[in-house]
Amino acid sequence: MFNIGFFFTQSIAAEYDKTAAVAFSAAGTTLHSRAVPNELFGLNSGQAFAGVVRPLVEVPCINFTGSRLIWLRKKYFDKSNV
């Protein structure tokens, strides 16, 4: 989803700050849905376990996304470096 958000906003010539916001929004669309498996399947289910482990994987992914956005900014948005 991150790539889709980034390349869509770049194709419409959006500024870097708008592109970064859309990319992070696309990457984090499922952040708010952690409590649903606990309510639907119970605390001892595999789905609830995945909901607990998921943030442990997601935070490094968000950090990687941020570093990638900085790299993409230098490559595609800083035209003075050309």
* Better-predicted residue by pLDDT, 66 or 29: 66
Residue 13 has pLDDT above 80, yes or no: yes
Domain count within the chain: 1
Q: Tell me the average pLDDT across 14-23.
A: 80
Question: What is the percentage of the chain residues whose pLDDT exceeds 70?
Answer: 76
Is the Cβ–Cβ distance between 49 and 39 less than 8 Å? Answer: no
pTM of the model: 0.47
Which range (38-42, 48-52, 58-62, 78-82) has the least confidence? 78-82
Q: Which domain holds residue 18?
A: 2-81
d(CA 12, CA 10): 5
Residue 35's pLDDT is what?
66
DSSP calls for the chain: -HHHHHHHHHHTT--HHHHHHHHHHHHTTTGGGSHHHHHHH-TTSHHHHHHHHHHHHHHHHHHHHHHHHHHHIIIII-GGG-
